[in-house]
Amino acid sequence: MHIFTLEDVDIHQIINRALAFKKREKLSLENKIVATLFFEPSTRTRYSFEVAALNLNCKTINFESSNSSLNKGETLYDTIQTFAAFNIDAMIIRHPENNYYEELKKIKIPIINGGDGTNNHLSQSLLDLMTIYEEFGYYEGLKILMVGDIKHSRVAHTNMKIMRELGMKVYLSGPKEFEDQETNFEFEEMIQKVDIIMMLRIQKERHHSLMNLSNEEYHLQYGLTMQRLNKTKSHTIVMHPGPFNRNIEIADEVIEHPKSRIFKQIENGVYVRMALLEKVLSR
Ligand code: CP
């Protein structure tokens, strides 16, 4: 019933449904109520789930954590049980703690995970995969370079796992401080070899003074500049989950360059989230 990780869905089925919604297939789930409960800031995920719900003719409500009874000591579990008692139809939750959903497994209303700590961002991975599939038509053998704050990126963690399962070759690059368990590849060399470059934001909210580099030094060493973009293969595309730090990990001119798929990723996010809502609301 719940969708906490990609293991809870058939990714090909979700992407096929998302592609159908993109081709204007209609589905009306009138009178269903979808609540978004975000305990961490979000623009793309929260509002695209809301647009997705509205596209399906659902009603939406947003939980404002800063103005809620959390301030009186209410726990996450009790907040979610309260929404379940309202008899709404689905909840989308984002929370800063990894695996926050473990304590919510017995909640009777379907929950979709909108991101947990540094662990998991399933809807982002699905929209990334949809964007890659639209571009190349397959996954097996594609080479992707992820660059930046790998250690604190739930997008990187979810993507690495699923992309390897799909037969993609995943390479990581970035400052030592942001290394995970993986080999660190040479950025300048790898950008010339891969099909996809995925730039990642430095997650300053998850660490404070971990990085020894200034923003300018980071941009010089690890930023995707026009000079570097010009070294990529003709078919190479650029992705970024957003939000992006302009002129730190990615230069202004690259963001809307013809090789960039950043705004297509955002657009595809609405269709993927319609497919996820369809999955939990049509049961
Ligand atoms: N990519 C992503 O999760 O963005 P938001 O934090 O704005 O939702």
- Helix axis angle for 44-55 and 122-136, nearest 10°, is 70
Is residue 153 within 6 Å of ligand 1 at its C-beta? Answer: no
Confidence tier at 202 by pLDDT (50, 70, 90): confident
* pLDDT above 90: residue 216: yes
Q: Which of 249, 9, 11, 8 is nearest to 127 (CA)?
A: 11
Segment 3-20, tens digit of pLDDT: 999 999 999 999 999 999
Q: Which helix (H) or strand (E) holds 143?
A: strand 143-147
Answer whether 242 contacts ligand 1 (Cβ < 6 A): yes
Residue 178: predicted pLDDT? 85
Q: How far is the CA of 124 from the centre of ligand 1 (A)?
A: 8
Cβ 43 under 6 angstroms from ligand 1: yes
Q: How many angstroms separate the alpha carbon of residue 155 from the centre of ligand 1?
A: 10
Cα of 194 vs centre of ligand 1, distance in Å, is: 25
Average pLDDT over every residue of 171-184: 84
Q: Is 281 helix (H, G, I), strand (E, B) or coil?
A: helix
The mean pLDDT value of the chain amounts to 95
Is pLDDT above 70 for 210?
A: no
Judge whether residue 209 has pLDDT over 60.
no
The conformation of residue 267, written as its DSSP 8-state character, comes to: H
Any ligand 1 atom below 6 A from CB of 243 = yes
d(CA 22, CA 38): 26
Report the alpha-carbon distance of residue 155 to residue 115 in Å, rounded. Answer: 9
Global pTM reads 0.96
